[in-house]
Amino acid sequence: MNAEAIAQNLANRKQGQFFSITVKRPAKTRKSMQCPDIQKQSTYQGILCDYASRKPVREAVEQGEREAPKLPTHIADVFHIQGVKFWRGKDGQVYFPMPISGNKPKVKWLANGTEVPYDEVKSYLLACETYKKPEKSAIEDNNQAQFNAIKVENILEIK
């Protein structure tokens, strides 16, 4: 997908509405190993809203427990298409910043384009691919909300 297609898909939805987003990207693998072309395909449940609007973040800012969120240093600017927010990286890459629900994403692993069990690819993966993210409650206890900034080029589908 591209940013225009994503914006068109989400433009008529209400703020706070949930949606599914499917992403496929190259897996992060060990450089020292000869490995197949491994890709990770994930389906998340996103929330159409701004990160700063999420309850734990908003309340912590209002109560002075944290500063307002800032853009990551690798992001050059923010732009909107049909009211949908996107980020442009300093390298020109376009991202879709998206708060996510606490639901566990559905993940498929592909080796050379064919779906394979996780056990078949795990020995090739870097630790960051197998890292278990903290639970939603632990993140909210730190005055944060679950969030992904997804490269637009990696988005396959939004429902």
The pLDDT of 37-61, averaged and rounded, is 92
The residue range of the domain holding 92 is 3-158
Is 110:41 a contact under the CB 8 Å cutoff?
Answer: yes
Number of domains in the chain: 1
Q: Where are the beta strands (DSSP E) in the chain?
A: 18-26, 38-47, 75-81, 84-89, 94-99, 106-111, 114-116, 147-151, 155-158
Check whether 68 has a pLDDT greater than 80: yes
Quick check: helix, strand or coil at residue 5? helix
pLDDT-derived band at 101 (thresholds 50, 70, 90) equals confident
pLDDT number for residue 22: 97
Extract the tokens encoding 77. 């600017």
